[in-house]
Chains A and B, each alone.
Chain A
């Protein structure tokens, strides 16, 4: 049974509000529907290419868990550390999200067994389905728990990122949790409400140059079966898409639509940003702030010269660790939310706006998205670039047992990349600041009927954040 009133993520679907948006999309010269390309369509239409990639990621995931649990205890010689925290983490931030939105979610192995149990089959729905198919509790909706999960990872990041066994157990726990939740709740409850990477990807997917959208809303309204909604493993209804955050890019809706009324569009970067919000979602604001607080903290811990900070983050349970944990939580739960709220409030007073502060905070949070994305990319360049040579090393010897699968005894370093790396980081941070300010300049500061204007206090927040990142990464 289709239950459109239960669409997660989008509490209030303003169908009337989509008219103009749909028309703009249909008339927009800035979009190219990739699903109409003759050479690409069969690759999307058939389930097999995606299925094969998913099998590859699932097999790799299982091997990485085994490597973490049973391989070398030295992180730089273990596939779990190098592939997860260097190769995959880098690819996610440098390739998957900026160019493909939540494209990683479309091949992520973690929810697959749960999907198969829920539908009682692998590629097709089987006669016997498993699971209670309960609705996710309303009070737990939104991205609050994803923010919490990210904070939890941050508290233990120095150990998780360096200890192969801990990485193995964390991955196994995520796998078990996803399967367990799929047996209790409908659709992808784990991915939608709990997965910290899902929250990270969903938020920054709004910047990406691809989107799945309907072509003609009238066709969707007249279609009674809503086969796209039925087919979506996430339980989202494409008509309700206002941005990329909820779409897992799995392409099931494109395959299911009998009217060929869905498009996989190429569009300009950041198209979802700079628009007034139809719903007040402070959970999204909080997630965006947690990402900023986390990237500053991680950059200080992992790339800064402060050995006492590294030791404090690593020695879990010690007094210095409690100091680190308190500071990390204070930055994310108190400091940044307080400063951002004060900046939005100041901007509101400055313009004499009558819109509620809560709505202003939710709207202005869009400014944080390009800022955070570029900061994460800059941090990744600083963090992972000098260590990319280790990827070849663990391909040669994934478990650190002295194998030579590639027939090589020693791999060279990355050469002298210090100069180019710091320059790239500076450029990325400046692009993030410029992008953030340009989004600010598109947002209404007073009411939707008045022209948008740059919010100077919020822009100052972006500037100070950029200066802090510059000081940590290249100072």
Chain B
């Protein structure tokens, strides 16, 4: 005879959910360890050519005073940083400077603001200010989802 009887809800499973909920809250709210560093002045030189920033990934600490020197090597390019409301443009061979205090932690995309060719809308770079806590929390949540699935799915 095959096992066709409907599964009954087993009493006591509520505490599984309670534990998972608490772990979820921990992942969501607990502050991540941050290495204390004194804010410094940083000057970052970026070459912008068609569809590419070099370097494309910038790493600074929260609180740093950052100056970006943007040089366009072929056509006119721009640079705007998501979340920081900053923007500049530069002509070929010229240097544009953008100075700001990196007071918001996280990872922010920066994008070209001047149409420079077909792939212009996708000409992006990445500014990493301190720790990318969203990514680490998301990774932790993924692990939690996996653990929950294994836990709930065991027979």
Contacts and interface: CB of A to CB of B under 8 A. Distances in A.
B54 A474 contact: no
B92 to A, nearest CB: 17
B54 to A, nearest CB: 7
Nearest to A433: B145
B124 A305 contact: yes
Interface in B135-155: 135, 138-139, 141-143, 145-146, 149-150, 152-155
B57 A75 contact: no
B142 A471 contact: no
A449 B142 contact: no
Contact of B134 (A311, A387, A453, A474): A474
A189 B6 CA distance: 43
Contact of A158 (B2, B119, B132, B155): B119
A470 B145 contact: no
Q: How large is the interface on A (under 10, 10 to 19, 20 to 34, 35 or more residues)?
A: 35 or more
A323 to B, nearest CB: 16
Given A305-B53, A306-B56, A470-B135, A434 B145 contact: yes
Contacts of B152: 441
A454 B149 contact: yes
Contacts of A76: 115, 120-121
B57 to A, nearest CB: 6
B78 to A, nearest CB: 13
Contacts of B7: 451
B153 A471 contact: no
B51 A311 contact: yes
B107 A475 contact: yes
A423 B83 CA distance: 13
B118 interface: yes
Nearest to B120: A76
B125 interface: yes
A416 interface: yes
A109 B139 CA distance: 42
Contacts, number: 124
A437 interface: yes
A422 B83 CA distance: 11
B69 interface: no
Query: Which DSSP category, helix, strand, loop or mixed, fits chain A's interface?
Result: helix
Nearest to B141: A430
A215 interface: no
A397 to B, nearest CB: 14
A430 B134 CA distance: 13
Interface string B95-129: 00000000000111101000100111111111000
A408 B56 CA distance: 35
Given A162-B119, A302-B122, A459 B52 contact: no
Given A416-B82, A434-B145, A454-B149, A314 B135 contact: no
Given A418-B108, A426-B134, A453-B155, A314 B54 contact: no
Interface string A296-325: 000001111111101100100000000000
A208 interface: no
Contacts of A311: 50-52, 119
Given A162-B121, A449-B3, A310 B141 contact: no
A407 interface: no
B37 interface: no
Nearest to B1: A449
A459 B7 CA distance: 23
Contacts of A426: 134, 138, 141
B85 interface: yes
A440 interface: yes
Contacts of A13: none
| Most A C-beta atoms less than 10 A away, residue of B49, B50, B51 | B51
Interface string A354-370: 00000000000000000
B142 A466 contact: yes
Contacts of B121: 75-76, 162, 387
Contact of A474 (B3, B51, B135, B154): B135
B122 A310 contact: yes
Count chain A CB atoms within 10 A of each CB in B82, B124, B149 and give the residue with the most.
Answer: B149
A406 interface: no
Contacts of B2: 449
A346 B115 CA distance: 50
17 contacts: A76-B115, A163-B118, A301-B122, A307-B53, A307-B123, A311-B119, A314-B118, A429-B138, A434-B145, A437-B146, A440-B153, A449-B2, A453-B153, A459-B146, A463-B142, A463-B146, A474-B135
Interface of B: 2-3, 7, 49-54, 56-57, 82-83, 85, 106-109, 111, 115, 118-126, 132, 134-135, 138-139, 141-143, 145-146, 149-150, 152-155
Q: Please list the 9 inter-chain residue pairs (A to B) with the smallest Cβ-Cβ separation, ordered nearest first.
A: A307-B52, A454-B153, A418-B82, A437-B149, A162-B118, A305-B56, A449-B2, A441-B153, A305-B126
